[in-house]
Structure 1
Amino acid sequence: MTDWHEQSGLPDKRRVAESFSRAAHSYDSVAALQRAVGIELLARLPLQLAPQRWLDLGCGTGHFSRVLAVRFPGAEGVALDLAEGMLRHARPLGGAQRFVAGDAESLPLRDGCCDLLFSSLAVQWCGDFSAVLDEARRVLRPGGMLAFTSLCVGTLQELRDSWQAVDGLVHVNRFRRFADYQQLCADSGLQVLGLERRAQRLHFPDLRELTHELKALGAHNLNPGRPGGLTGRARIRALVEAYEVFRQPEGLPATYQVVYGVLQKPF
């Protein structure tokens, strides 16, 4: 059976890792949405949760590793990311006891070793989300929790529609449908305590600011099949004009469809 990675043309992991490694030093300067989404995910954790060991899955620059260390003093923290550049940036800043290079679809951890897997805006880059869920179930202790955020279809729809009007090529990263998250979580063997989709909208003064932010985050177009070569000035002018149709009083909107999930391994 063809997996989701192959069906959708999701970017391959090496390109994702390389892109985020390059963005390690610029990421935090433009990560306001990422911060807000992670804080909201933390607020969804049960107040009584007291893990002995947590894993920050797709830790990036380690921001939430440091937040988790404050939230759960005395717990052992493990920060894991596919991008070596992110780990090099995060390691000197602390937060976790261990920083590990690894893949969410094949975790380099033993069975039943964690009480909390926290993952904010990372698993959208995983081609096989069912493997991520399988690995979470494997490494969690009974009663342990997986808390994740991701992105689904509808993210950056304004940019996608604007490019569609210009040339119809793939310029914007593809994401899973929310219905796929619902089905995969339901089939995971984990108890779904909460799973919802919420739109979060940023505004930019112009298109240049939006594309600068995506590049600084390492989240610009990573799709296979993306157009090669330089983008001509005429096409950029056409894109700017197409995007202006969406302008609101606050600026040009960029909508993110954020998935929030909290799942628990049965006792």
Structure 2
Amino acid sequence: MTDLSVATLAGHLPDKRQVADSFSRAAVSYDSVAELQRAVGHQLIARLPAGIQPQRWLDLGSGTGYFSRVLGERFAGSEGLALDIAQGMLAFARPLGGAQHFVAGDAENLPLQANSCDVIFSSLALQWCADFSAVLSEARRVLRPGGVLAFASLCVGTLYELRKSWQAVDGQVHVNRFRELETYRQLCAGSDLQVVSLQNQPHVLHYPQVRQLTHELKALGAHNLNPGRPEGLTGRARLQGLLSAYEQFRQPQGLPATYQVVYGILEKTR
């Protein structure tokens, strides 16, 4: 995929209502297949500045609240906010605690007061936002001076094995599109936040067969949500073609699924 401007990318990302509905439906099954999400989120927590002790933190794109609960334990005595666009996720997370407040909202237009948070933590949620510059602007508005935005997102190259295998079958788009790493770099550098670190790290999962991967994506609510995606059921011949094409990637550990993860730590200096 070539580099996409914000305006162009907006036409290639799924509608936010579809994203919200898809993740709401996946709330009950999500944690059972969230190996990658847990690994990435824990890595992101490890990248937080040492000794940071916020009075108020925000888990942005909080999902089932797994990391709201982790943050609640790490920052005991502080006030926690869990915010997600999917009402179903919030309904699932609320009884489990971790945060004091559970808020429905959009990362591009946060329903929070300016200078109200010391830490914004967001793991594997911001890839669904078409206007990442708006996300950064909103983070800066909501953070107090000295506050930190810690995010993990996905960039181009994610699930390239699945994308190439489908292209060999029918040439259609079956895999969600993501931003270029360079676009993240440019937008972060152009924001009014200081870039402490911005790194790309691949995470590779392995599966015995393709169906385990596709089942997991559906259970996560992260299956193909692209505009222009093929509609209707996939025929047996095309599925067999996918299985055959994906076999070229097989490794001793199984069939790989590569996720290109972007880790960013940004600070509001003034």
TM-score bin, normalised by smaller chain: over 0.9
The answer as to whether partners of 2:65 and 2:82 remain within 8 angstroms in 1 is yes
| C-alpha separation in 2, matches of 1:47 and 1:177 | 29
Q: 2:18 aligns with which of 15, 18, 26?
A: 15
Counterpart residue number, 1:3: 7
| C-alpha separation in 2, matches of 1:13 and 1:188 | 24
| C-alpha separation in 1, matches of 2:151 and 2:172 | 31
RMSD in angstroms over aligned alpha carbons?
0.9
The normalised TM-score by structure 1 is 0.98
Structure 2 gap segments, 5+ residues each: none
Cα distance, 1:49 vs structure 2: 0.5
| C-alpha separation in 1, matches of 2:37 and 2:10 | 27
Which amino acid in structure 2 is aligned with residue 51 of structure 1?
Answer: P
Cα distance, 1:48 vs structure 2: 1.4
Establish whether residue 189 from structure 1 lines up as the match of residue 212 from structure 2.
Answer: no
Which amino acid in structure 1 is aligned with residue 106 of structure 2?
Answer: D
Aligned ranges 1:20-59 → 2 under 5 Å: 20-59=23-62
Establish whether residue 173 from structure 1 lines up as the match of residue 176 from structure 2.
Answer: yes
Q: 1:251 aligns with which of 248, 251, 254?
A: 254
Which amino acid in structure 2 is aligned with residue 3 of structure 1?
Answer: A
Counterpart residue number, 2:209: 206
Q: 1:108 aligns with which of 108, 111, 130?
A: 111
Counterpart residue number, 1:263: 266
Which amino acid in structure 2 is aligned with residue 68 of structure 1?
Answer: L
Which amino acid in structure 2 is aligned with residue 205 of structure 1?
Answer: P
Establish whether residue 118 from structure 1 lines up as the match of residue 117 from structure 2.
Answer: no
Counterpart residue number, 2:219: 216
The answer as to whether partners of 2:65 and 2:93 remain within 8 angstroms in 1 is yes
Counterpart residue number, 2:141: 138
The answer as to whether partners of 1:136 and 1:146 remain within 8 angstroms in 2 is yes
Aligned ranges 1:62-101 → 2 under 5 Å: 62-101=65-104
Secondary structure of residue in 2 paired with 1:245: helix
Secondary structure of residue in 1 paired with 2:249: coil
Aligned ranges 1:128-167 → 2 under 5 Å: 128-167=131-170
- What number of residue pairs does the alignment pair up? 266
* Runs of 4+ deviating beyond 4 Å: none
The answer as to whether partners of 1:54 and 1:76 remain within 8 angstroms in 2 is yes
| C-alpha separation in 1, matches of 2:79 and 2:114 | 16
The answer as to whether partners of 1:4 and 1:128 remain within 8 angstroms in 2 is no
Structure 1 gap segments, 5+ residues each: none
Secondary structure of residue in 1 paired with 2:43: helix
Which amino acid in structure 2 is aligned with residue 86 of structure 1?
Answer: M
| C-alpha separation in 2, matches of 1:32 and 1:2 | 30
The answer as to whether partners of 1:50 and 1:72 remain within 8 angstroms in 2 is yes
| C-alpha separation in 1, matches of 2:64 and 2:191 | 29
The answer as to whether partners of 2:10 and 2:131 remain within 8 angstroms in 1 is no
The normalised TM-score by structure 2 is 0.97
| C-alpha separation in 2, matches of 1:64 and 1:6 | 28
| C-alpha separation in 2, matches of 1:134 and 1:78 | 19
Cα distance, 1:2 vs structure 2: 6.5
Q: Deviations over 1:13-39 (max 9, x none)?
A: 000000000000000000011001000
Identity %: 71
Cα distance, 1:4 vs structure 2: 4.4
